[in-house]
């Protein structure tokens, strides 16, 4: 009998922080642990070397007529710092009540172990299960999956033999309501650098003579939104997918209390594009955000300097069918066109990711040529969630980004079924991350039923 | 015979960095060195304790009918870092050609020693010189003179017995042209803090819902200037002193090459208020500058965060008769009025300083009741500079600030005669600071003639 909680504990003990080379051993330990575990379950394991951290491919073959699912997950975790804010050691899993605490407990070790446990139970009960399964488990998710494009270039053919991707790396809005995520936002990131004088200047000796790059930066950034909350870049909304009436209706079933959300955020007013509630805006609308800004003196007290340089870090969350490179281009064009004289503008291109949408079967906008196995997976998921959780799932797009999902779609044509398992209170990417073991138990049962369900046409 | 260069070397060897408590010994060493030097010249020295670094008061009394000059200077220096950029050790004075290198060489140890040397030579040649002299030498200039107001509160009465202040802590535009500084800009500094959500947020999960504080900050900062280069705060220019035709004419004698100035700054366009050349703007117009800006992620790469907070450090350079507290008030009012909903605005009040102007005798706007000794000092300075440097000085306001000068004026009514001795190439506040020894030699002779000149009515 597969003990999912014990296995999860073992998994969490490996400090697999992908972005920090000091955790090299934790990374290889986590990779070997998962590889050995899947090997022990009868999977044929291949560890695909990449430029950074290897990707685990573990296959259970079978009759080519059987449906074929790719189960995605990642064995790497975010850094644990600031360590001083943890109440239990981040890499020493600790069960308190119905929660297991530790870095990666919810993102993504717990949900991944949930799906591994479901497969283990399924195969224990039915070793001849007519289902082909390929685990695709990467170690670079928390660093933006830099090796994934190269992996896809060499392995797309193999993945193309599968029917769909199944994963649990999205959110559960609350303990009673499962969401099948039907869309993800994309990303387009760039840094804007503004340079004025060749060196920092004394603001007494030269103040009033030249344009301060912080002022120029503020003036540029201030043009990028209209007061109503829209992004003010010509062409930004071109091609943005309309929201289907069924999507709004689906979201209406979930929509919570605006006041409670405001209190959670600690703000006294929302700021959304016109015609969208905050709950709609985050799922259906693109954004242009400033993730950081800097320039000049930042310490205590004062320094009367006119800085030479200032910068802003800009990221756009994109919705279908916005194309990241086109968005980067028009944002840079708008900034160049609006930059005042007397400063120099430079950009640093950062990473990007396509937006993604998949339409469940039976909707007015479901593609006519949708894969029958994918449609079956969605129906199996709906039935499984309804049975296990006591109410049907919602089919919603989400505001976050999982760039490998659209990358797989682009390379292989395969869509994804995304069943969220982490809760808002799980503290992802924050101290005292935890995973709800009731959710895990229900998640195992749900995944078991879904995977079983797709084998019966 | 007083050896000014040797004394300056001794003075520079004390690492008297006032802002850094690790240099306590250097501070007390420099203070004792100056106190002992003035004592050896026959001055009665009083070391006035303050909350931070003591102020040296050294007096030469005499007949109450004699004119009485206060000679100001400071014995503290800026920090020397980054040390790696110095080609000689900052606290090991090194003479190369006609320059002495070392931290504080030009600001203010060299110019101060110039004036001490002039007094020493004068008294050696004429021990009975009918002139009362009080040296007022502080140790907190480079940290904003925090103890000076308290010092003035207790010592204004004593200073009021003097006729004027003489100092060399302003600039010489080039080696051939002396400026008698007739005005200084004031300062009004505050930090603006903008707070959005109570914590940093994931830009995928919440982006599009709320106003990003960086965006709010940029939008606020962008309103604070008009495109023509003026400060866009109602009432900002109220009471700004008109520029006298003689001031423009005086400046026209100096005005250099705009192209060369642009090249020096490394910019391709000036940005001045309408109706002012860059050379005029810096001396005659107030500014509102951003000395720093910060918020969110500032490292390499990306972090898709909506920060909770952002800030800007704002400083206004003020001209007569702008009042710093009123300016702070209207800037804060404008910012509060323009702040968008959904963010909180807070201010941190930083320091301030009044602007200052003194009109030399014989100008259309010279006060009718100008002190005769002050008038004599200006005329003596004009004659001395013309004799020593081969051309008359220019009488110009300067863009920088020396807040103790208006503070003395306010507390005692005394005006200042400021004869600049540091050159643009002296690298004040920067690595490889140096002082031109030809300037020093001429400066000693000039100061000697001025001080001698005021004794003869």
pLDDT tens, residue by residue, B352-410: 999 999 999 999 999 999 999 999 999 999 999 999 999 999 999 999 999 999 999 99
Distance CA A134, CA A66 (A): 13
- Segment A94-152, tens digit of pLDDT: 999 999 999 999 999 999 999 999 999 999 999 999 999 999 999 999 988 999 999 99
Strand runs (DSSP E) across B44-163, as ranges?
Answer: 44-48, 55-60, 68-74, 94-96, 99-101, 132-138
Structure tokens at B228: 């023509």
Interface contact A214-B290, CB threshold 8 A:
yes
pTM of the model: 0.91
Chain position carrying tokens 């030399």: B360
Query: Given CB atoms, is B310 within the 8 Å cutoff of chain A?
Result: yes
- Segment B192-237, tens digit of pLDDT: 999 999 999 999 989 999 999 999 999 999 999 999 999 999 999 9
The three-class DSSP label of residue A224 is coil
Mean pLDDT in residue range A32-40 = 98
pLDDT at A18: 94
Together in a domain, B84 and B211 = no
User: Per-residue confidence at B303, pLDDT binned at 50, 70, 90?
Assistant: confident
Together in a domain, A80 and A177 = yes
pLDDT at A369: 95
CA of A172 to nearest chain B CA: how many angstroms apart? Answer: 12
Q: Going by DSSP bridges, is the β-strand pair A68-74/A132-138 parallel, antiparallel, or unpaired?
A: parallel
Together in a domain, A217 and A230 = yes
Distance CA B103, CA B115 (A): 19
* Chain A hits for B207, Cβ within 8 Å: 185, 282, 287, 289, 317, 399
Do the beta carbons of residue A417 and residue A178 sit within 8 Å? no
Nearest to A290 by CA among B96, B291, B213, B17: B213
pLDDT at A457: 53
Mean pLDDT in residue range B238-258 = 92
Instruction: Tell me what the pLDDT averaged over chain B comes to.
Output: 95
- End of a domain among A285, A312, A342? A285
Chain position carrying tokens 């291109």: A349
Q: Is residue B208 part of a domain?
A: yes
Together in a domain, A197 and A267 = no
* Residue B406, domain extent: 4-184+355-453
pLDDT at A418 over 70: yes
Nearest to B307 by CA among B222, B207, B197, B191: B197
The three-class DSSP label of residue A20 is coil
Query: Given CB atoms, is B342 within the 8 Å cutoff of chain A?
Result: yes
| φ and ψ of B44, to 5 deg | -90, 115
Query: Given CB atoms, is A107 within the 8 Å cutoff of chain B?
Result: no
* Chain A hits for B310, Cβ within 8 Å: 293
Together in a domain, A297 and A361 = no
Query: Which CATH number does the domain housing residue A198 bear?
Result: 3.30.70.360
Chain position carrying tokens 């992996």: A151
Residue from the list B218, B276, B298 with its beta carbon closest to the beta carbon of A218: B218
Interface size A-B, in CB pairs within 8 Å, comes to 283
- End of a domain among B353, B377, B401? B353
Q: Is residue B265 part of a domain?
A: no
Using the 8-state DSSP alphabet, how is residue B99 labeled? Answer: E
Q: Going by DSSP bridges, is the β-strand pair B164-167/B415-419 parallel, antiparallel, or unpaired?
A: parallel
pLDDT at A82: 82
Best mutation site among A293, A300, A301, A312 for testing chain B: the one with the most B CBs within 10 Å?
Answer: A293
Together in a domain, B116 and B179 = yes
Structure tokens at A253: 């079933």
- End of a domain among A297, A317, A352? A352
CA of B398 to nearest chain A CA: how many angstroms apart? Answer: 8
Together in a domain, B217 and B290 = yes
Query: Given CB atoms, is B269 within the 8 Å cutoff of chain A?
Result: yes
CA of B366 to nearest chain A CA: how many angstroms apart? Answer: 25
pLDDT at B153: 95
Interface contact B296-A293, CB threshold 8 A:
yes
Interface contact A302-B268, CB threshold 8 A:
no
Query: Which CATH number does the domain housing residue B170 bear?
Result: 3.40.630.10
Do the beta carbons of residue B279 and residue A293 sit within 8 Å? no
Do the beta carbons of residue B81 and residue B106 sit within 8 Å? no
User: Per-residue confidence at A365, pLDDT binned at 50, 70, 90?
Assistant: very high
ipTM for this prediction = 0.91
| Cα-only R_g, chain B | 24
Interface contact B218-A215, CB threshold 8 A:
no
Query: Given CB atoms, is A240 within the 8 Å cutoff of chain B?
Result: no
Q: For residue B349, what are the β-bridge partners? A: B190
Chain position carrying tokens 């201030």: A222
Percent of chain B beyond pLDDT 70? 100
Residue B81 CB partners (closer than 8 Å, separation 6+) = none
- Segment B405-448, tens digit of pLDDT: 999 999 999 999 999 999 988 988 888 999 999 999 999 999 99
| Partner B, chain A 16-55, Cβ-Cβ below 8 Å | none
Together in a domain, B156 and B305 = no
- Segment A368-385, tens digit of pLDDT: 999 999 999 999 999 999
Residue from the list B204, B205, B297 with its beta carbon closest to the beta carbon of A313: B297
Interface contact A302-B144, CB threshold 8 A:
yes
Instruction: Tell me what the pLDDT averaged over chain A comes to.
Output: 95
Mean pLDDT in residue range A336-364 = 96
Structure tokens at B323: 């009042």
Q: Is residue B272 part of a domain?
A: no
Do the beta carbons of residue B266 and residue B211 sit within 8 Å? no
Chain position carrying tokens 């797009």: A397
Distance CA B30, CA B55 (A): 12
Strand runs (DSSP E) across B307-359, as ranges?
Answer: 309-318, 344-353, 356-357
pLDDT at B457: 53
Measure the CA angle with vertex B284, ends B278 and B287; round to 5°.
75
Mean pLDDT in residue range A41-48 = 98
Distance CA A396, CA A184 (A): 9
Together in a domain, A160 and A274 = no
Q: Is residue B23 part of a domain?
A: yes
Q: Is residue B260 part of a domain?
A: no
Measure the CA angle with vertex A226, ends A225 and A232; round to 5°.
55
Nearest to A407 by CA among A366, A350, A352: A352
CA A390 to mean position of chain CA atoms: 27
Do the beta carbons of residue A361 and residue A370 sit within 8 Å? yes
Query: Given CB atoms, is B171 within the 8 Å cutoff of chain A?
Result: yes
Percent of chain A beyond pLDDT 70? 100
**H or E segment at B106?**
none
- Segment A250-296, tens digit of pLDDT: 999 986 789 999 999 999 999 999 999 999 999 999 999 999 999 99
Q: Going by DSSP bridges, is the β-strand pair B164-167/B68-74 parallel, antiparallel, or unpaired?
A: parallel
Interface contact B271-A310, CB threshold 8 A:
no
What is the tally of structural domains in chain B? 2
| C-alpha to C-alpha distances, A91 to A81, A117, A397, B10, nearest whole angstrom | 12, 21, 32, 59
Interface contact B209-A270, CB threshold 8 A:
yes
Nearest to B149 by CA among B77, B19, B50: B50
Q: Is residue B261 part of a domain?
A: no
Together in a domain, A15 and A132 = yes
Interface contact B313-A297, CB threshold 8 A:
yes
Ramachandran class of B229: left when φ > 0, alpha when ψ lies in -120 to 50, beta otherwise: left
Query: Given CB atoms, is A188 within the 8 Å cutoff of chain B?
Result: no
Half-sphere exposure for B286 (CA within 13 Å, toward CB)? 30
* Chain B hits for A205, Cβ within 8 Å: 171, 282, 399-400
Together in a domain, A53 and A162 = yes
pLDDT at B73 over 60: yes
- Segment B125-155, tens digit of pLDDT: 999 999 999 999 999 999 889 999 999 999 9
Residue A350 CB partners (closer than 8 Å, separation 6+) = A189, A190, A191, A313, A315, B301, B302
Residue from the list B198, B204, B310 with its beta carbon closest to the beta carbon of A399: B204
Mean pLDDT in residue range A389-397 = 97
Together in a domain, B365 and B347 = no
């Amino acid at each position: 009998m597969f003990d999912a909680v014990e296995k999860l504990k073992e998994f969490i003990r490996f400090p697999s922080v992908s972005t920090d080379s000091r955790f090299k051993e934790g990374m290889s330990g986590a990779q070997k642990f998962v590889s050995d575990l899947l090997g022990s379950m009868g999977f044929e394991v291949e560890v695909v070397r990449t430029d950074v951290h290897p990707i685990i491919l573990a296959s259970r073959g079978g009759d080519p007529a059987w449906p074929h699912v790719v189960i995605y997950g990642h064995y790497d975790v975010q850094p644990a710092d600031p360590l001083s804010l943890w109440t239990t050691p981040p890499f020493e899993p600790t069960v308190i009540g119905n929660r297991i605490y530790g870095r990666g407990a919810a993102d993504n070790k717990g949900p991944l172990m949930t799906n591994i446990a479901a497969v283990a139970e399924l195969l224990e009960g039915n070793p001849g299960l007519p289902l082909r399964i390929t685990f695709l488990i990467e170690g670079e998710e928390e660093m933006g999956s830099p090796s994934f494009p190269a992996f896809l270039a060499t392995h797309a053919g193999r993945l193309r033999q599968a029917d769909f991707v199944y994963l649990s790396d999205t959110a559960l809005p609350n303990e009673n309501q499962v969401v099948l995520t039907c869309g993800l936002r994309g990303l387009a990131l760039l840094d804007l650098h503004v340079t004025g004088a060749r060196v920092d200047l004394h603001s007494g000796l030269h103040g009033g003579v030249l344009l301060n790059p912080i002022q120029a930066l503020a003036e540029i950034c201030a043009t990028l939104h209209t007061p109503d909350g829209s992004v003010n870049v010509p062409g930004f909304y071109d091609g943005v997918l309309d929201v289907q009436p069924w999507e709004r209706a689906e979201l209406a079933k979930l929509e919570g209390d605006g006041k409670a959300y405001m209190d959670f955020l600690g703000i006294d007013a929302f700021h959304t594009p016109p015609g969208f509630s905050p709950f709609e805006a985050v799922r259906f609308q693109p954004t242009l955000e400033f993730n950081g800004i800097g320039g000049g003196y930042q310490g205590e007290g004062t320094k009367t300097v006119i800085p030479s340089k200032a910068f802003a870090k800009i990221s756009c969350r994109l919705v279908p069918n916005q194309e990241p490179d086109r968005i980067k281009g028009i944002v840079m064009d708008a900034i160049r066109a609006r930059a005042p004289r007397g400063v120099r503008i430079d950009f640093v291109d950062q990473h990007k990711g396509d937006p993604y949408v998949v339409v469940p079967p039976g909707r007015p906008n479901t593609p006519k040529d949708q894969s029958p196995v994918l449609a079956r997976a969605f129906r199996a998921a709906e039935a499984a969630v309804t049975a296990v959780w006591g109410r049907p799932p919602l089919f919603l797009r989400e505001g976050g980004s999982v760039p490998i999902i659209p990358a797989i779609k682009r390379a292989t044509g395969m869509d994804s079924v995304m069943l969220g398992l982490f809760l808002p209170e799980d503290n992802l990417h924050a101290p005292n991350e935890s995973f709800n073991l009731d959710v895990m138990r229900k998640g195992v049962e749900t995944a078991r039923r879904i995977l079983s369900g797709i084998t019966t046409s």
